[in-house]
Amino acid sequence: MTSDHASIPTLTGLSGIADAYDVILCDVWGVLHDGSKAHPGAGDALIRFRGLPAAGRPRRVVLVSNAPRPGAGVQRILDRLGVPREAYDAIVTSGDLTRALVAEQPGIRLYHLGPERDSGIFQGLDVALAGPEEADLVLNTGLFDDRTETADDYRETLATLRARAVPMICANPDLVVEFDGRLIPCAGLLAAAYEEIGGSVVYAGKPHRPVYEAALARAGDLDGLPPPDRARVLAVGDAIRTDVAGARGVGIASLFVARGIHAEELGLTAEHHRLGAIADWLSAQAVHPDAVIERLVW
């Protein structure tokens, strides 16, 4: 495939390129569901991919999510939304990586910056919860109320942490996600605001290399094999900044799902269902995908 934005192919279905790959690393939110319901065509496409004849090794799908919770929690959400388990073989999340990072610091005083629903990310670990005035580490899983708040609401808290040089782990590098047609702010916005005032941030998740290394290793472990040849791996996602840039950074091809968080920028509203020419939009992006598809379908 090519990285020249002027010649990036627009696919009508995954079937057009599927045989060239052994492993798909698939984004979750924005590709498999929109936060309130599954996209049935996406699950079907992954099931069909997994059913292709092996080409030296079995076809595998590993879901790679920036969700700030362990993979088991993501699977429960997928079950509830109706994403079939037959569509994937394993789940690797930024929450899994975050949990491992926190576990390396037993007894640490931890400030959890995020909603209570994300507390499973550190449950069972040897940590002491503390406020921003006493903490040794801030674990950022997102805004307390992502429906009404913005990063500006956290200016004072972040300044307090920065004054004490408290390092931050960002458990979800996403800036926003799509939820039922709306864009909801994520932990990445708070992390960016912290960096802007000189705070130190470690990111667990896309577009950073460790989550891809973990996902590729998991793909191999499924069959007792080494990680797959990266020339035979395809990343599927709806975010240029995380999915496409992350894939490019680790040397794997990417398929950009246009009807996701960038849908409004691309004019893909409810009244406009056709994916038109997006070459100009792509040319303005820092990185370019290897192919584009409106929705993940077979």
Q: Among 171, 203, 235, where does a domain finish? A: 203
Does residue 298 form part of some domain?
no
Residue-range definition of the domain harbouring residue 263: 5-95+207-293
Q: What is the CATH number of the domain that holds 282?
A: 3.40.50.1000
Residue type (1 letter), 146: D
Instruction: Report how many domains make up the chain.
Output: 2
**Would you state the pLDDT for residue 269?**
55
Residue 176: count of CB within 10 angstroms of its CB: 17
**Would you state the pLDDT for residue 272?**
46
CA angle 9, 13, 15 (to 5 degrees): 100
Name the 3-class secondary structure at 154.
Answer: helix
The DSSP annotation for 181-231 comes to: TEEEE-HHHHHHHHHHTT--EEE-STTSHHHHHHHHHHHHHTTT-PPPPGG
CA angle 58, 221, 54 (to 5 degrees): 5
State yes or no: pLDDT of 221 exceeds 80.
yes
**Would you state the pLDDT for residue 258?**
87
pLDDT tens for each residue of 145-204: 988 888 899 999 999 999 999 999 999 998 887 676 677 889 999 999 999 999 999 999
Angle at which helix 94-103 crosses helix 209-221, to 10 degrees, equals 100
Read off φ and ψ for residue 41, nearest 5 degrees. Answer: -65, -30
